[in-house]
């Protein structure tokens, strides 16, 4: 999303960010609807409209609110959820059930019951015992569920270990050992309570190279071939996941969707032709790549500590409570002073949060203009996994979120109050 500087002030999707901070307070998540739509349009142009029998399911764990559900529905995408809470949010927003897919490595019985009762489009089965739970629920409710198996291709991706999911040593997916996967496939094919549609894999997140996608695809295509030869089953559907990287800093070499998808589709189409089967319906699960660069976070500068010869700390009124990624896996961000956007960046500082943790650092060694208390500091590309992973650590309330488009701003998440933060806490009679 284009960020514009006018009169020394940062504008985002036509909105004056300093005015946004003044009106809604800080910390403040700001989401550009224009940027979301641009990414959805790219997916439609280069994938959905280019290849028949394809779907794109937004990986809602990156950022999910009722308003985001409405945007994704309007743009014609499906929705990937990984918990009862995400499914409930989609349901409350009226998102079409048949366009919802449920992922997750440890779905509860209650979550699976909710999914079956609501009639969602797909359940991505992640473990061997999960099928039995789904069958029992469907037997009791007189329903039949459409399922895929999530498998672990066993490939290593070039990303942080915490967000690599396709390697064999992973909590996600069913390993591809013959004695494990094939009995599971046979059971699903023969089940009277599920429709077995195929396979799902996901190699990791924030990837800028397509090598691991292509390696994983080769492995799963062999699984499809073996399944055809063993059981005469032509796999109707293949979900190839997401993980397409975005630009957080100038060091990130982000690629268009076509860079990942075109060679994969070419490989799948040739494989299907050689095997003499109809090419499976292909599903992708972009999340971060849709919402990541569509968001920024605004903070107000507070205490500044200049430790001579060591480091200059600039504290802001948020931190790891609204963006845990730098503390969790050393994620890097860039930003600038929204109210001094054109001024020379002559100072080297560390932008840190207000939590009682030394690791509460948002940007280390940031080149910025001279900052002072009260300045508004904007951190870019925070749309993904900021709001979604926010916490009340140190009893800090959750920030508000505004949706901006062409100079207009609308509140989509209210700022949490202290009262709201403790509303579920009780004092038992024994302590009164």
pLDDT at 172: 87
Band (pLDDT 50/70/90 cuts) for residue 164 is very low
Locate 178 and state its tokens. 């013959």
Q: Is 78 a catalytic residue?
A: no
State the pTM of this model: 0.95
Question: Which of 15, 40, 69, 356 does the annotation list as catalytic?
Answer: 356
**Cα–Cα distance, 51 to 68 (Å, whole number):** 26
**pLDDT tens digits, one per residue of 344-389:** 999 999 999 999 999 999 999 999 999 999 999 999 999 999 999 9
Domain with CATH 2.40.37.10 in the chain: 3-30+292-421
**pLDDT tens digits, one per residue of 192-218:** 999 999 999 999 888 999 999 999 999
Pick the CATH number of 33-290 from 3.20.20.370, 3.20.20.70, 3.60.15.10, 3.20.20.10: 3.20.20.10
**pLDDT tens digits, one per residue of 66-123:** 999 999 999 999 999 999 999 999 999 999 999 999 999 999 999 999 999 999 999 9
Domain with CATH 3.20.20.10 in the chain: 33-290
pLDDT at 321: 98
Once rounded to an integer, what is the mean pLDDT over residues 57-71?
A: 98
Average pLDDT, the chain: 95
**Cα–Cα distance, 368 to 347 (Å, whole number):** 5
Residue 422, classified by CB atoms within 10 Å of its CB into exposed (0-12), middle (13-18) or buried (19+), is: exposed
Band (pLDDT 50/70/90 cuts) for residue 168 is low
- Architecture category of domain 3-30+292-421 in CATH: Beta Barrel (2.40)
Once rounded to an integer, what is the mean pLDDT over residues 147-162?
A: 72
**pLDDT tens digits, one per residue of 272-328:** 999 999 999 999 999 999 999 999 999 999 999 999 999 999 999 999 999 999 999
């Amino acid at each position: 999303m284009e960020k514009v500087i006018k009169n020394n002030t940062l504008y985002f999707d036509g909105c004056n960010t300093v005015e946004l901070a003044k009106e809604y307070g800080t910390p403040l998540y700001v989401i550009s609807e224009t940027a979301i739509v641009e990414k959805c349009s790219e997916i439609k142009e280069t994938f959905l409209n280019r290849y028949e029998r394809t779907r794109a399911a937004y990986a809602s764990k990156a950022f999910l609110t009722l308003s985001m559900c409405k945007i994704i529905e309007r743009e014609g995408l499906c929705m990937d959820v990984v918990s009862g809470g995400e499914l409930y949010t989609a349901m409350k927003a009226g998102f079409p059930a048949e366009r919802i897919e449920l992922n997750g490595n440890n779905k509860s019985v209650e979550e699976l019951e909710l999914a079956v009762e609501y009639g969602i489009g797909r359940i991505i089965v992640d473990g061997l015992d999960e099928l039995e739970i789904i069958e029992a629920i469907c037997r009791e409710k007189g329903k039949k569920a459409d399922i895929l198996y999530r498998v672990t291709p066993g490939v290593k991706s070039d990303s942080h270990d915490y967000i690599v999911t396709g390697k064999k040593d992973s909590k996600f997916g069913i390993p591809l050992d013959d004695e494990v996967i094939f009995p599971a496939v046979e059971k699903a094919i023969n089940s009277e309570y599920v429709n077995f549609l195929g396979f799902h894999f996901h190699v990791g997140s924030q990837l800028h190279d397509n090598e691991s996608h292509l390696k994983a695809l080769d492995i799963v295509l062999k699984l499809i071939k073996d399944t055809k030869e063993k059981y005469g089953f032509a796999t109707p559907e293949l979900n190839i996941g997401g993980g397409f990287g975005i630009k957080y800093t100038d060091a990130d070499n982000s690629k268009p969707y076509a860079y990942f998808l075109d060679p994969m589709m070419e490989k799948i189409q040739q494989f299907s032709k050689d095997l003499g089967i109809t090419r499976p319906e292909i599903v992708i699960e972009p999340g971060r790549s849709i919402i990541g660069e569509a968001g920024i976070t605004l903070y107000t500068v507070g205490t500044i500590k200049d430790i001579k010869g060591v480091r200059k700390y600039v504290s802001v009124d948020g931190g790891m409570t609204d963006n845990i990624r730098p503390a969790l896996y050393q994620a890097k961000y860039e930003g600038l002073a929204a109210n001094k956007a054109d001024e020379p960046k002559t100072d080297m500082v560390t932008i840190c949060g207000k939590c009682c943790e030394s690791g509460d650092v948002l940007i280390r060694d940031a080149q910025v203009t001279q900052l002072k208390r009260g300045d508004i500091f904007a951190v870019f590309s925070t749309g993904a996994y900021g709001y979604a992973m926010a916490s009340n650590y140190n009893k800090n309330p959750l920030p508000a979120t505004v949706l901006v488009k062409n100079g207009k701003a609308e509140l989509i998440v209210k700022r949490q109050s202290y009262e709201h933060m403790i509303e579920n806490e009780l004092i038992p009679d024994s302590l009164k």
